[in-house]
Structure 1
Amino acid sequence: MWMPTDDEIKDMTKVALETFWGLRHLGDKGVRGGKTMDGFAEMLQGVLRRCGVDDTEIIMGKKAKLPSFYRLSKDWDMIVIQNRPDGSRRLLCVLEFKSMKGSVGKNLNNRVEEAVGSSADLWKAYENDAFGVTRPFLGYIYVMSEDIELIIGNTERKGLLFPPLEAFTKFERTGRPANYEERAELFMKHMAQEHLYDKCAFIIADPDIIGEYRQPNLDLTIELLIKTMVGHVQAHQ
């Protein structure tokens, strides 16, 4: 069975980031249209095709809609199904692609609430037999632009009625209060630890050297996400 190497994934990620920046440079229309992460969607499409997934089984756009528990339905960025010989469908993968450039202090909390709520909704629907027996792979890719605001932004939250969790006041690698980048990392780390998402990828993209990026946490890499997704798909073929 085919499994991409780390070097192959790095090369694909660089191409996806070139698309990411190229679309951003088109201006507000590209950003508002939600097209900045199309390169990552195309990247995963290519990986899934090499795993034997047919294009008709990779669903994006308005058709990427699943039943929910707390609401009627939820739109996802990518859904992978398996068309089975008996005419039924098996839900294999569900993926979200999110990005952020600037205004981190205003937008990070919104990202957290959205991601946590979407995951809780999906798994509750699964528990209530919305998708059948097979547990789907749920993945989350988050790309943030390298920005001085990430590391010098507000590290304190005034007005809390109780002290914040120590993970935020003594970040594990520094012992200091977490800045915005570190808060975003904790957000992804905690979602993975709590099994809200099977794998999360946290990428900081360099705006000056297009295609270059860093991944602050080795447990939150695009390599791990893709390899886990590939293993899940191949196990159910």
Structure 2
Amino acid sequence: MALDLANYREQARDAIKAFWGNREAAARKQEETGNIDRGARGAVTAGNNLNGFLALMQSLVRANGLHDAQIHIDKGLVVLPGYFRPTKQWDVVVMRGNCLVAALEFKSQVGSYGNNYNNRTEEAIGVAHCLWTAWREGALGDQPRPFLGWLMVVGDEDESRRPIRTAQPHFNVFPEWRDASYIQRYDQLCRRLVKEGLYAAAALLATPLNSAETGAYAEFSPLSGLEYFVTTFAAHIAAEASRPPPPEVTPLVQTHT
């Protein structure tokens, strides 16, 4: 099966350019209006920083033949049922009829690594476990296992690359966590999310703070790289496109938002 990866590296560089450009524009707007958020928060409160990656996923769906898919990115249409909580909003939801083909989550972190790393980690694990349990219990109907993907964009800077001391007051942590930087921790997280089956693919991209013009980014391992993410996603899409449209699915659990 030949896959079309939609010139993903060029699209990813464009997405990184947009990421930094949107952050800079949001910060400038806050300065102009005099409404300054604490620290770098003003660069992220406007949202839409990762829309370039949404566009890449849309390109992969169309390029790999799933022409009857509905690709949802609007807030009201990316809500999926959970098991431990009623619903969760994803960043991209790909539907074919009323069958869930894929759900994707995109996150970023620049600065404040100590404050936010644990939150990002716990959220990534929790939302996947919540959806898989809901799927197992019939909230999505009797449908094949969908594709779940998680992508993380991190600032590539001294703060994210310096070793972090790990507390071990009672038991030793796994060796790979000792003195690991936040980038190394995110790399381990992505690899383990895939190995444990919580996500079909999880990617980490680290981008220097001066990349608004170049779109530069770094990857750290094959399993957490962007190529694995887009290849796995494209293969799932192509496989879905090769099947006839699914019959109407009636969820065993009726959910309401």
TM-score past 0.5 threshold: yes
Gaps of 5+ in 2: 28-40, 242-257
Question: 1:138 and 1:46, CA in 2 relative to 1: closer, same or farther beyond 3 A?
Answer: same
What residue in structure 2 maps to residue 86 of structure 1? none
Residue 69 of structure 1: aligned partner: 83
Given the alignment of the two structures, is residue 96 of structure 1 paired with residue 101 of structure 2, yes or no?
A: no
CA distance in 1, matches of 2:218, 2:228: 14
3-state SS, counterpart of residue 212 of structure 1: coil
Tell me which residue corresponds to 1:78: 92
RMSD: 1.9
Letter matched to residue 142 of structure 1: M
Matched, 1:146 2:148: no
TM-aligned CA deviation for residue 68 of structure 1: 0.8
1:12 maps onto 2:16 in alignment: no
Q: How many residue pairs end up in the alignment?
A: 223
Alpha-carbon contact 1:199-1:220 (below 8 Å) kept: yes
Counterpart in the other structure of 1:174: none
Q: State the alpha-carbon separation in 1 of the partners of residues 55 and 5 from structure 2.
A: 18
Q: Displacement of 1:2 after TM fit?
A: 5.4
Q: CA deviation at 1:130?
A: 1.6
Task: Please tell me whether the aligned partners of residues 66 and 74 of structure 1 are also in contact (alpha carbons under 8 angstroms).
Answer: yes
Report the equivalent of 2:173: 164
Cα deviation digits, residues 41-91 of structure 1 (max 9, x gap): 1111122122234586001132100111111111101010112xxxxx211
The one-character-per-residue Cα deviations of 1:107-147 (angstroms, maximum 9, x if unpaired) are 11100000000010011011111223210000011010111
Percent identity over the alignment is 29
TM-score, scaled relative to structure 1 = 0.87
Structure number with greater CO (CA < 8 Å, separation at least 6) is: 2
Equivalence for 1:201: 203
> Is 1:192 aligned to 2:205, yes or no?
no
Unaligned runs of 5+ in 1: 84-88, 170-176
For residues 160-213 of structure 1, give each alpha carbon's deviation from its aligned partner in whole angstroms, at most 9, with x where no partner exists: 4322122212xxxxxxx2122111111111111111111011101122243111
SS state of the match for residue 184, structure 2? helix
Q: CA deviation at 1:218?
A: 1.6
Moved more, 72-81 or 206-215: 206-215
- Say which one has the larger Rg: 2
